[in-house]
Structure 1
Amino acid sequence: MGYRVVDPDDVEPPADRPCEYRSLTEPADLDEMALNVFRAEPGEQVPLAYHYHETQEEAFFVLSGTLSVETPEGTFEVPAGNLFAVDPESPHRAHNPETADETVELLAVGAPPASDDAVAYEPGDPSSDPSEDD
């Protein structure tokens, strides 16, 4: 058996991200999932780019504020206390719009963990569309 307590405030956020990001995966010694905490001010996006994952499922649980998730099917507004789930090969871009009145905080879970699984997606470009691979 194993147990760990991790305080996200003790995890140093990298400077090269578009919002505050703290990866809890390593500090929690997790092998089967990736776990991250994000805090995005109005106008900031959560991931580095519009993307999809080839094999990873993702789930965003909104702790406070309202998360906007842009997809080819439209933009989803996810309020605090709600979960947004993303299947593999489903393009998305999570962000806090410039027009937002507050910061958005969320917990993001991805499984299986995969550091090289993200594929850039360019809306309107068929060569970046995962559904075109079928």
Structure 2
Amino acid sequence: MGYRVLDPDDIAPSDDRPCELRGLTEPAGLDRMAINRFRAEPGEMLPLAYHYHDDQEEAFYVLSGTLHVETPEETYEVPEDGLFVVDPGSPQRAFNPADAETSVEVLAIGAPPTEGDVHAYDP
């Protein structure tokens, strides 16, 4: 059996994102899913680009604030304690709009954790 307890605040944020990203996958020793915690201030985007995945399913659980997710059909507003799920092949761009009053904190889970599975989407 294996167990681990982590404090995400002890994990250094990534410096290559438009918002705060704390990658939890590797510190947790996970190999069948990817988990990230995001904190986006008003005007910040979570991913590096509007994108889609070939194989990975994604789930965004909103810890605080309101997450906005742009898709080709519409822009969704996901409130605190809400869950937004993205199927493989479905383009999306998660963000906190510039006119938001607060930051948004999100736990993002993706499975399987694949390399090279992300593709830019140009609407």
Residues 14 and 23, structure 2, Cα contact 8 Å, conserved in 1 = no
Shift >6 Å, 4+ stretches: none
Equivalence for 2:34 = 34
Aligned-pair distance for 1:58? Answer: 0.0
How far apart in 1 are the matches of 2:40 and 2:7?
A: 19
Equivalence for 1:121 = 121
Equivalence for 1:127 = none
Equivalence for 1:89 = 89
Give the TM-score taking structure 1 as reference length. 0.91
Percent of aligned pairs with the same amino acid: 68
Secondary structure, counterpart of 1:9 in structure 2: helix
Aligned-pair distance for 1:115? Answer: 2.5
- Where does 1:66-77 land on structure 2 (aligned, <5 Å)? 66-77=66-77
Name the count of aligned residue pairs: 123
10-19 vs 82-91, which deviates more? 10-19
Aligned-pair distance for 1:18? Answer: 0.3
How far apart in 2 are the matches of 1:31 and 1:4?
A: 14
Give the TM-score taking structure 2 as reference length. 0.99
CA RMSD in angstroms, aligned pairs only: 0.5
- Where does 1:1-134 land on structure 2 (aligned, <5 Å)? 1-123=1-123
Summarize deviations over 1:7-53 as a string: whole Å, max 9, x none.
11111112111000000000000011000000000000000000000
Q: Which amino acid counterpart does residue 17 of structure 1 have in structure 2?
A: R
How far apart in 1 are the matches of 2:115 and 2:107?
A: 17
How far apart in 2 are the matches of 1:107 and 1:56?
A: 16
> Which structure has the bigger radius of gyration?
1
Unaligned runs of 5+ in 1: 124-134
How far apart in 2 are the matches of 1:9 and 1:116?
A: 28
Unaligned runs of 5+ in 2: none
